[in-house]
Structure 1
Amino acid sequence: MNNTTDNKNMIYFLVISMAVLAIYQFFVFGPQQKKREAAMQVAAAASSSAAAKGLPLGGVSTTLTREQALATSPRITISTPSLKGSIALKGALLDDLYMIKYDQTVEKKNDPVELLTPAGAKNAYYVQSAYFAQNVPGMPDNNTVWTQTGGSVLSPGHPVVLSYDNGTGLTFTRTLSIDANYMITEDDAVTNTGAAPVSFQPFSVVMRSGMPADAGKNAVVHEGAIATYSKTMDKPKLGDYRTASLKYKDMAKPKDGKALESQDSVGGWYGITDKYWMAAVIPNQTQAVSYTAKAIVTDGVPVFRSGYVDAPVTVAPGQTWKAQSHVFAGAKQNTQLQAYEDSLHIPRFHWAVDWGMLSIITYPMYWLLDKLYAFLGNFGFAILALTVIVKVVFYPLAHRSYESMTKMRQVQDRLKPKLDAIKKRFPDDMQKQQEATMALYQEEKVNPMAGLGGCLPMLLQIPVFWSLYKVLQLAIEMRHAPFFGWINDLSAPDSTTIINLFGLLPFDPATVPLIGTILAGPLHIGVVAILYGCSMWLSQQMTPMTGVDPMQKKMMAFMPLMLTFFMAHVAVGLIIYWIWSNILTILQQYSIMHRLKVSNPIDTGFQKLGEMMNKGKKAA
């Protein structure tokens, strides 16, 4: 009996196990396998396409540390007032670069931002310039070790020379020069000492392995691939150039990732950009090129490529081909980008900064902010001054808008007794309330929608204020810029929090067991965010809500509280702008309401305060 029972149990166990395995195969393992196969097919197709364009394929992502990757190649030191790093002789790669004028954090000095990471290391990020040719042996690639034949350290005024002899009649020479900022010049030469002509295609590409850690956190400023190209191949003028961009996340989709592929241009520039930094390759501006910006996803890791391939070149025996190109690697300072655009005739190079669709407003606003910063010497003061200027420019429109709404509120205050009587007459019938209210308005010859008409001038200001918001997001000058007191970085969220009474209690909320991530995350509310919430609440109270549905009024009443939590995690410089804007709006509204003798929260508050003080004196 026990054996029979055991056999039954064993059969049940096997049946259930097979069912579980079948379910797992159908719903989990099968789809995963299909996804892997699809990804491999996409990668294979992309690799084939890339090879056809002369783009490099491998040697990007491994598990080497940065130090280990550096040690895999002899190197040439780079030393300028703005950059430090090295060039790998293996592949002649620009793959080790720090921006010494920018620290990673405010707290730790002399800890420069890393821009480029060595090939072979995790999250490799580098620039490669080489050649692609079919049926030509010995063409240099990313495994070719070049020889340093001139110069010692790449620095301003001190170029270095690299050379490579492929042993079959071709000699490659590259002279690298660098300025005091972020531009590297490459002068390439290929000499054919063989007996037959040789054809090849020079290429230059920016390659990046893996998604940046903070990619996508800033939805306002573009991060990803960027390309400026000509719409025509027939002697294009500046107006013939356009700038296209692809976000990291859109490029990194395994099946339907976006790409710019096999596009033709004359000159232009192509690269990968983050919020404040960029690496870009720049061909000769008279050279016909085919540019590509795409990502190849392998084992879940995207490898981003953005670059160009020159038109085929044929070098006859005894002849030397020469060409000059540039590589930009550094901070996106508008004035410096403009200088490169003018001196090197690089079309739309200042568009490396994401001015957006409203660039006609955004760019002049950035220019004005930069001038104010240069004059005042403090970026926080520059923000306050720019906000005042914008408010002054729009004062006539805003004044007309607020005045229209205030006058409507004045009418409603006059009719309030009659409106209250209507509510008492029809306490449970909203339809009859509305009918009686509209009849009263007609009798009094009042247009209840007149107040809403005052909103139209305010709507005209929205593009300007949006542009100002974008300017403050993309301004590199705001990064690590101090203001007052504890605010030492206008581009970072407020460091104070109400949880420890803004630093009065000696503990870090993030270290509290179990709930530390919540206290330091969603519940992290600083001084600046609270000031913003108060200013928004008072501004809301000072704005007449004529013609607004009661339910909408109730919802809007919660907006200051909701936005306080949201703004707590926004850059302090942006919150300061909103607080100051709210204060100016409150002052403007107060002057209108006081002049028209309409009740407002400020006068009412002072009146109640005076009454309380008088009661206190009488009680004493």
Structure 2
Amino acid sequence: MQNDNKNTLMFIVSAFVILIGYQFFILGPQQKKAEAEARAKQAAQAQAKATPGVTLDANGNPAPLRLSRDAAKAQSPRVVVDTPTLSGSIALKGGRIDDLLLRKYAETTDKNSPPVELFRPEGAEHAWFADFGWAGANLPGLPDSRTVWTAAPGQVLRPNSPVTLTYENGLGLTFTRVIAIDDQAMFTVTDSVKNNGTQGLQLAPYAAVQRQGIHDTLGKNQIVHEGAIGVLGSGKDQKLELAKYQKWKKDKPLTSFDSVGGWAGITDKYWLAALIPSQDETIKAQYRVTQAGGTDIYDVNFVGPTQALNPGATLVQKTRLFAGAKTVPLLRKYEYNGQAPAWWQFWDSRKAEIPRFDWAVDWGMFSMFTRPIFNILEIFYKMVGNFGLAIMALTVLLKLILYPMADKSYESMAKIKKIQPEVEKLKAKHKDDPAKQQQEMMQLYQKEKINPMMGCLPMLVQIPVFYSLYKVLTVTIEMRHAPFFGWIQDLSARDPSTMFNLFGLIPWDPATAPLIGSFLGGPLHIGVWPLLYGFTMWLTTAMNPPAGDPIQQRIFQLFPIIFTFTLSQFAVGLVIYWCWSNVLTIIQQYIIMRRYKVENPIDKIIARLKGKPASAAT
């Protein structure tokens, strides 16, 4: 028994040391580095705007090989893209979709924040674009990235208003590209080639999404997949194929997949560019990383079957491109061709138009929890109009579902606390005989019909639920920039308030403090909601039976402080969930403890407020 207590104590202390050390020596310096890089990037962008055609590197030196976004756009004549959700342009040089901004999403919560940038042209830093075309062995005159297509003057790509690009190679081939778009995020690119010559040819269609270099922060978040993604294979063998940026680069620079239909693309945390061939088409897809000029080129592409193009004949290839935000209802709408199943038909077995397209959202290994949790949150959000309130409503629902088990657990803990004086007598009576002490305690528990293990079950059940909600808040864009009340304007970010400036009463940013700013703005950043959580955790701990060993008791008393610091770095939506969950737990525990006439800290607090002695609390 004593050895077990020592082992438990050593484990807990070691875990705390590792946790705190990780916060101070890993997360703190990483955040400081990220802030320095962000400041350098802002300075470079400001200088680039002042000097058209030139950007700066992180050290402030000219980088002539990297054009500003506007300068890169100016390298090609363009056709404007103008939809309710997207703005940008199509480059006639290469016939590329390479300039897109997301109108409904801002970079930050600031009202003057610019829209999120999705695609940017080649030549600019971190270029991202989509290519389409034809491939053939030893065939001259096929259009490539240098080919300048022709478009009728005044064309603008809008919903129900496609644009047409043409190119004649002078060798008997006429290429036509019709680009259409809906009112959301789906392009349809129809490529055709007519053989006006006298010889037959062999051509294969291809499409590609390419990123030329990535931001330093991409691919490093362990809870979110960022990189290559797709559902590839044949029939029942179709499965989700993933490659995180860093592993994709180091472990498998080239991976090929034979597939019938499916889809493939490149994803960030919230944004996706995915190619979708005809679902009856046999393709060979590739995840590929190459290098050019010291830059990693991340490329996801597919090549269709080689087809004969006889004289006078025409080949036609239709490919769709999703380019936008990964909103779950929109992905499901496309998945089921506009007829997404209702939430109660979530596991509908109908054949999807785009297989498992909503898996572009990283549901993770606990998808059996994350997907239903998101569905329920979405329903509550439609009812209350606030994701914070939706999270609270979800918490109440989870409490109701777990109520029978939790009720037995809290009843068991109340009984244990009630017999605590008798337990202490047994410990004193058999302090030199641990085996006898344990035997007598088990007999006492059996006599009072107490199962001491019942206190652990609700916590064990809540662990995957807690992680799943954390996952949902992290990976779903519906939580991004979702406001709550007051100072909480983004439930997916941590609580922005901090106790070091009295929660905004002092006009000072602790993160700017010399030497310790990275800690005050990092691991020591404690907001209002984490403090509320710490208080509710202390109260629930105080209402539970004390640990058997005095040292363990003191350690458990430190738990609220440690978890306050830990959860302060999490999404505030998660902290609100856990805090509200604690409040509901406290209410339930209080009712049960009053039923069994067990002394509890709430009655003591009320008694003190009324000026009564603590003994009168119950």
Q: TM-score scaled to structure 1, two decimals?
A: 0.81
User: 1:558 Cα deviation (Å)?
Assistant: 2.6
Q: Is the 8 A contact 1:279 1:328 kept in 2?
A: yes
What secondary structure does 1:161 align onto? strand
Q: Quickly say closer, same or farther: Cα 1:433–1:600, change in 2 above 3 A.
A: farther
- Aligned partner of 1:504 in structure 2 is 505
Q: Is 1:416 the counterpart of 2:424 in the alignment? A: yes
CA distance in structure 1 between the partners assigned to 2:434 and 2:214 by the alignment: 57
- Aligned partner of 1:101 in structure 2 is 104
Q: Is 1:244 the counterpart of 2:241 in the alignment? A: yes
Opposite residue 147 of structure 1, the aligned amino acid is T
- The 10-residue stretch of structure 1 (92-101 or 508-517) with the greater mean CA deviation from structure 2: 508-517
Q: Is the 8 A contact 1:151 1:160 kept in 2?
A: no
Q: Is the 8 A contact 2:499 2:527 kept in 1?
A: yes
Q: How many residues align?
A: 537
Q: Is 1:117 the counterpart of 2:111 in the alignment? A: no
- Aligned partner of 2:191 in structure 1 is 188
Q: Is 1:339 the counterpart of 2:333 in the alignment? A: yes
Q: Quickly say closer, same or farther: Cα 1:261–1:443, change in 2 above 3 A.
A: closer
Q: Is 1:474 the counterpart of 2:471 in the alignment? A: no
User: 1:118 Cα deviation (Å)?
Assistant: 1.0
- Aligned partner of 1:355 in structure 2 is 363
Gaps of 5+ in 2: 1-63, 339-352
CA distance in structure 1 between the partners assigned to 2:428 and 2:220 by the alignment: 50
Q: Is the 8 A contact 1:203 1:310 kept in 2?
A: yes
Q: Is the 8 A contact 1:408 1:450 kept in 2?
A: no
- Aligned partner of 2:129 in structure 1 is 126
CA distance in structure 1 between the partners assigned to 2:443 and 2:576 by the alignment: 47
- How do residues 514-553 of structure 1 correspond to structure 2 at under 5 angstroms? 514-544=515-545, 551-553=551-553
Q: Is the 8 A contact 2:130 2:207 kept in 1?
A: yes
- Aligned partner of 1:26 in structure 2 is none
What secondary structure does 2:428 align onto? helix
Q: Is 1:314 the counterpart of 2:308 in the alignment? A: yes
- How do residues 212-611 of structure 1 correspond to structure 2 at under 5 angstroms? 212-216=215-219, 218-230=221-233, 232=234, 236=235, 239-253=236-250, 257-258=251-252, 261-297=255-291, 301-343=295-337, 345-423=353-431, 432-441=432-441, 444=444, 446=446, 450-544=451-545, 551-611=551-611
What secondary structure does 1:174 align onto? strand
Q: Is the 8 A contact 2:426 2:441 kept in 1?
A: no
CA distance in structure 2 between the partners assigned to 1:371 and 1:303 by the alignment: 41
- Aligned partner of 1:199 in structure 2 is 202
Q: Quickly say closer, same or farther: Cα 1:399–1:75, change in 2 above 3 A.
A: same
Q: Is the 8 A contact 1:76 1:154 kept in 2?
A: yes
Q: Quickly say closer, same or farther: Cα 1:287–1:553, change in 2 above 3 A.
A: farther
Q: Quickly say closer, same or farther: Cα 1:249–1:587, change in 2 above 3 A.
A: farther
Opposite residue 539 of structure 1, the aligned amino acid is T
Q: What whole-Å deviation, never above 9, does each CA across 1:262-284 have from its counterpart, x for those lacking one?
A: 21001111111112111111111
CA distance in structure 1 between the partners assigned to 2:364 and 2:607 by the alignment: 48
Q: Quickly say closer, same or farther: Cα 1:553–1:213, change in 2 above 3 A.
A: farther
- Aligned partner of 1:47 in structure 2 is none
What secondary structure does 2:139 align onto? coil
CA distance in structure 2 between the partners assigned to 1:175 and 1:275 by the alignment: 30
Q: Is the 8 A contact 2:412 2:450 kept in 1?
A: no
- Aligned partner of 2:27 in structure 1 is none
CA distance in structure 2 between the partners assigned to 1:364 and 1:285 by the alignment: 28
Q: Quickly say closer, same or farther: Cα 1:62–1:273, change in 2 above 3 A.
A: farther
Q: Is the 8 A contact 2:103 2:116 kept in 1?
A: yes
What secondary structure does 2:302 align onto? strand
Q: Is the 8 A contact 2:374 2:472 kept in 1?
A: yes
Match of 2:140 among 131, 134, 137: 137
Q: Quickly say closer, same or farther: Cα 1:336–1:445, change in 2 above 3 A.
A: closer
CA distance in structure 1 between the partners assigned to 2:295 and 2:445 by the alignment: 69
Q: Is the 8 A contact 2:539 2:586 kept in 1?
A: yes
Gaps of 5+ in 1: 1-60, 424-431, 616-620
- The 10-residue stretch of structure 1 (363-372 or 554-563) with the greater mean CA deviation from structure 2: 554-563
What secondary structure does 2:493 align onto? coil
Q: TM-score scaled to structure 2, two decimals?
A: 0.81
Q: Is the 8 A contact 1:70 1:118 kept in 2?
A: yes
Q: What whole-Å deviation, never above 9, does each CA across 1:284-322 have from its counterpart, x for those lacking one?
A: 111101111233356764321122111212211111001
Identity of aligned residues (%): 47
User: 1:367 Cα deviation (Å)?
Assistant: 1.4
RMSD: 2.6
Opposite residue 182 of structure 2, the aligned amino acid is D
User: 1:132 Cα deviation (Å)?
Assistant: 2.2
